[in-house]
Amino acid sequence: MKKSSGTIRSHRSRVLGALLVAALCSVALAAKKPLTDEPLQWKPTSDIRLGALQKTTASIQFEPFKDVREKPESIGQNREDKEPKPVTTKDDVGAFVSTHMRELFNKVGYTTVDSGGAITIKGEVKDFFVDETDTYHGTFVVHLTVIGHNGATLWSGNASGEAARFGRSYKLENYYEVLSDAVVNTVSSMLASEEFQKALLKG
pLDDT at res. 54:
85
- Whether residues 66 and 13 fall in one domain: no
- Domains contained in the chain, number: 2
- Whether residues 98 and 192 fall in one domain: yes
- Whether residues 43 and 22 fall in one domain: no
Question: Residue 100 sits in a domain of what CATH number?
Answer: 3.40.50.10610
**CB neighbour burial string for 13-52, b if at least 16 within 10 angstroms, e if fewer:** eeeeeeeeeeeeeeeeeeeeeebeebebeeebeeebeeee
- Whether residues 76 and 137 fall in one domain: yes
* Burial class of residue 133, CB neighbours in 10 A (0-12, 13-18, 19+): exposed
- Whether residues 193 and 100 fall in one domain: yes
Q: Could you tell me if 143 and 155 are in contact, meaning their C-beta atoms sit under 8 angstroms apart?
A: no
Q: Which domain holds residue 16?
A: 1-33
- Whether residues 27 and 58 fall in one domain: no
pLDDT band at 74; cut points 50, 70, 90: very high
- Whether residues 6 and 84 fall in one domain: no
Q: Could you tell me if 96 and 142 are in contact, meaning their C-beta atoms sit under 8 angstroms apart?
A: no
Of the ranges 19-23, 37-41, 118-122, 158-162, which one carries the lowest mean pLDDT score?
19-23
* Burial class of residue 54, CB neighbours in 10 A (0-12, 13-18, 19+): exposed
Q: 26 pLDDT exceeds 80?
A: no
- Whether residues 49 and 90 fall in one domain: yes
- Whether residues 88 and 103 fall in one domain: yes
- Whether residues 1 and 76 fall in one domain: no
Of the ranges 23-32, 56-65, 139-148, 153-162, which one carries the lowest mean pLDDT score?
23-32
User: Alpha-carbon distance 72 to 194, whole Å?
Assistant: 32
Q: State pLDDT tens for residues 76-130.
A: 999 999 899 999 999 999 999 999 999 999 999 999 999 999 999 999 999 999 9
- Whether residues 79 and 171 fall in one domain: yes
Angstrom CA distances, 36 to 55, 78, 87, 169, 201, stand at 40, 12, 5, 16, 42
- Whether residues 2 and 20 fall in one domain: yes
Q: Which of 79, 192, 71 is nearest to 131 (CA)?
A: 79
User: Alpha-carbon distance 87 to 33, whole Å?
Assistant: 11
Full-prediction pTM beyond 0.95? no
